[in-house]
Amino acid sequence: MKTTIAAVRGRQVWDSRGRPTVEAEVTLAGGAVGRAIAPAGASRGAHEAIDLRDGGERFGGMGVGRATAAVNGEIARLLAGRDAADQAGLDAAMAEADGTPNLARLGGNATVAVSLAALHAAAAADGLPLWAHLAQGRKVRIPLPEIQIFGGGAHAGRRTDVQDFMVMCPRAATIREAFEVTADVFRAAGRLMEETGRLAGAADEGGWWPVFDSNEDALAALLRSIEMSGHRPGEDVFISLDVAANELDGGDGRYRLGLDGAEYGSEAMVERVAGWVRRYPILSIEDPVSQDDLAGFAAATRQYGERVQLIGDDILVTNAERVRRAADAGAGNAVLVKVNQAGTVSRAKAALDASRELGWAAIVSARSGETEDVSIAHLATGWDAGQIKVGSFSRSERMAKWNELLRIEEAMGADAAFAGPSAFAASVAAGLA
Ligand code: 2PG
Ligand code: MG
């Protein structure tokens, strides 16, 4: 069979933070080859698949020698002779061989690279671009992007407590237009930083380094940047925040906002974010509370989930079971889908399918540690997820994904439909109508 796996190879390559990461290459009997690189998070949830690192002195403990060896040894032997077109079978075999619930033994970074490489190989054997291989002839939408302007939190030395200050252009006609508007805002934000003597470089995902006196100061600067760009805040351009509140919770259920000199319990934290929602054109909020604060997430959803997208990242960790549990608790209306958080393509897809059954939105997301790998542009499109998050509008590990989406849009030709407001859960979409 031409999709029979002939060889699996792993190698160490380097990510956007200059840290080692795992690349996998899957070669099929018919000659098709697929390749993928594992990304890496900095603000990680405790319930994610394990990113296996060597520890010790070398590379600051970030070596991937064990994970790469797992690809070249155990995983290569396990998958040789299997059908790359049977993604579920491959992923289940790796999970079973691993034997832990979070892929701690082989490494989620090893399994995700192999899982994605096998998917690429199957698409290549099909003679199709990955997005089309996944779409299987169904009509799929070009995803709506959320794009970072200021990067804070764990990605910028905790200069702000809120991690991602992003923009969304749901009313753009095409992704091309959304990028053009975003480029204007990004440039205006740079100018504003320069004019106010705050220009201090770029954060991990390419956003402007946040030199602000308070978290709200950053929000005000983002609003000002949108105005300066000549586009209309709350009309053409909306704000999206990833609070990444997991990083603010010391483990005692108390949220510490260092920049604001404030400390809150869950209720007060939800109220703090509610204040921002009242004062700024905010359309989407990710992780307003920490990974086990389901009650807080539900309270946020009751207070502003009708009109605002509420995304679970660290709290849901791309896990279908956790998505259903959150929905049962009335917590959230959107899931962030990070393939490496799940550890395999199949598990990530299951989380996306669960969200779809619930009428939730889904955002396929990159990690703060990225590479030239553009798989997520294809997953977000081919799975018809509706939304994508890649980081900022600078640095090539980010731009590679945006540019790939432009190529996909062009390849779709007249069939290219931009998700726009349809990317959101129904009540949020209705607010944009
Ligand atoms: C997030 C991601 C991307 P990290 O929190 O959503 O911004 O960050 O990859 O560090 O978890
Ligand atoms: Mg997040």
- Mean pLDDT by runs of 10 across the 433 residues of the chain is 98 98 98 98 95 98 98 98 98 98 98 99 98 97 98 96 98 98 98 96 96 97 98 98 96 95 98 98 98 97 97 98 98 98 98 98 98 98 98 98 98 96 98 94
Question: What pLDDT is recorded for position 60?
Answer: 97
CA torsion sign for 58, 59, 62, 64 is: negative
- Its pTM stands at 0.98
pLDDT given at position 307: 97
CA-based nearest residue to 244, from 355, 161, 323: 161
State whether the beta carbon of 29 lies less than 6 angstroms from ligand 1: no
Model pLDDT, residue 267: 98
Distances (CA, A) of 214 to 160, 218, 238, 244, 367: 7, 7, 20, 16, 25
Specify the ligand 1 atom closest to the Cα of 336.
6
Question: What pLDDT shows up at residue 83?
Answer: 98
Q: Is 341 in the pocket of ligand 1 (CB under 6 A)?
A: no
Query: Which residue's CA is the closest to the ligand 1 atom numbered 3?
Result: 367
Instruction: Name the residue with the closest Cα to ligand 1, atom 4.
Output: 41
Residue 146 Cβ < 6 Å to ligand 1: no
Nearest to 26 by CA among 101, 98, 94, 96: 94
Ligand 1 site, residue 368, Cβ cutoff 6 A: yes
Pocket test for ligand 1, best of 15, 16, 21, 43 (most atoms within 8 A of CB): 43
Nearest atom, ligand 1, residue 391 CA: 7
Domains observed in the chain: 5-127 (3.30.390.10), 144-432 (3.20.20.120)
Q: Is 205 a catalytic residue?
A: yes
How is residue 280 written in tokens?
Answer: 């700024």
Of 338, 349, 389, 401, the catalytic one is: 338
> What's 49's DSSP letter?
P
Q: Count the Cβ atoms, other than its own, within 10 Å of residue 83.
A: 18
Q: Is the CB of 42 under 6 A from ligand 1?
A: yes
pLDDT of residue 157: 94
96 is catalytic: no
Alpha-carbon span 432 to 391, nearest angstrom = 24
| Tokens found for residue 414 | 């007249």
pLDDT at 129: 98
Q: Which residues of 381-391 are buried (b: 16+ CB within 10 A; e: fewer)?
A: bbbbbbbbbbb
Ligand 1 pocket residue status of 44, Cβ below 6 Å:
yes
pLDDT for the residue 372: 98
> Which ligand has its closest atom nearest to the C-alpha of 366?
1
DSSP one-letter string for 363-387: EEE--SB--S--HHHHHHHHTT-EE
